[in-house]
Structure 1
Amino acid sequence: MDLAAQLRAFRPWNEQEERDREALLRLLENGQAPYGREDLAHLTASAWVVSPGRDRVLLAYHNLYDSWSWLGGHADGERDLLSAALREVREESGLEEVRPVSRDIYSVEILTVDGHEKRGRYVSSHLHLNVTFLLEADPAAPVRRKAGENSAVAWFALEEAVAASTEPWFQTRIYSKLNARLAGYPPVR
């Protein structure tokens, strides 16, 4: 299923998701599918990686944002954003086995990214047109950091994950929402 069809099938959790979904659909339906990084606004894929018991979340200490955060990254031309999310989780955490709880979109967000230096070059402020997927992994599996991108990877209890972030907007608007949505996905015993 293409991204526009996935977004049309997606049921927003709140007004933020409804408005962001509408904006993403307008771009896609107007033939403006920014799958690469060249555009001021471009597609990204994130993952809320949970334990089978749905009581823990995997986060990385993201060097750019100086905060614990979800895993994910740029689509970089990949049109299957679930595949992009899985790729990013494996790259950023070292997890070898991570699987979708569902192939459906879990959440959508349009995120602002302030200008910053990356690999010695300035990156202008831009927007991440983000699609989030709910993934699952075993907390006992080994994890490792991705040098140059994050300095640690760790599992947190749900509320601890929200509190670990130093970004208030993400705490209240994103991570709390992602945890609340988990009620619709029963634990695996």
Structure 2
Amino acid sequence: MNLLEELKKYKPYNEQEERDKEVMIKFIDTFDDVLTRNNEIAHFTASSWVLNKEGTKVLMIYHNIYDSWSWTGGHTDGEEDLLNVALREVKEETGIKNIKPIKEDIFSIETITVDGHIKNGKYVSSHLHMNVTYLLQASENEELFVKPDENSGVMWVDIDKSIDKSNEPWMKGIYIKLNEKLER
């Protein structure tokens, strides 16, 4: 199934997701390069809410650009299988090798603003990430490592403390939503 089909079948959780679903579908219908950073207005990304086997902890990284604890995720770089992107990003950013989807369907969607910043010595203009989030599971016994060009910390956080780890107001709201969806 392609991304557009996945988005069309996705059942929004709240008003934010209803609106973002509409915007994402219009975006795909309007632009050809939605999966690459060549689209400097917006492009798709994939993130993960990674739980331990008991569902009591979430895996978080200390993101260097945002200077905050956050979920894992990244750019699709042209790949349409966003679940695969999410799995790859967890492995690259944390060192976790054995990770699996709790469900293969989209868990959450959100449009995220990205302020202008310097990456690899180059200025990146402000833009949007059309983000698709997946719910994944891994063992907290696996060895973790930092990916210094992207993060400076990796750790398992008690799920009820995950919101307080972030210092980004918009992301706190997203993490609250993810945790609420887990309780359903």
TM-score by length of 2: 0.96
Displacement after TM superposition at 1:147 (Å): 1.1
2:123 aligned partner, one-letter code: Y
The within-5 A match list for 1:22-171 is 22-30=22-30, 32-39=32-39, 40-171=41-172
Query: CA 1:112–1:31 in structure 2 vs 1: closer, same or farther (change >3 Å)?
Result: closer
Structure 2 residue 14 is matched with structure 1 residue 14: yes
1:181 aligned partner, one-letter code: K
Distance in 2, Cα, partners of 1:52 & 1:142? 15
| Contact kept? 1:102, 1:134, Cα under 8 Å | yes
- Of 63-72 and 21-30, more deviation after overlay is shown by 21-30
- SS at 1:37's partner residue? coil
Distance in 2, Cα, partners of 1:113 & 1:31? 19
Displacement after TM superposition at 1:33 (Å): 4.8
Displacement after TM superposition at 1:61 (Å): 0.3
Distance in 2, Cα, partners of 1:30 & 1:57? 36
Distance in 1, Cα, partners of 2:30 & 2:61? 35
| Contact kept? 1:27, 1:33, Cα under 8 Å | no
Please give the root-mean-square deviation of Cα atoms over the aligned residues, in Å: 1.0
| Contact kept? 1:59, 1:68, Cα under 8 Å | yes
Corresponding position of 1:187: none
1:126 aligned partner, one-letter code: H
Distance in 2, Cα, partners of 1:80 & 1:43? 11
Distance in 2, Cα, partners of 1:7 & 1:120? 35
Query: CA 1:117–1:31 in structure 2 vs 1: closer, same or farther (change >3 Å)?
Result: closer
Q: Which runs of 4+ in 1 moved over 6 A?
A: none
TM-score by length of 1: 0.94
Displacement after TM superposition at 1:29 (Å): 3.1
- SS at 1:146's partner residue? coil
- SS at 2:106's partner residue? coil
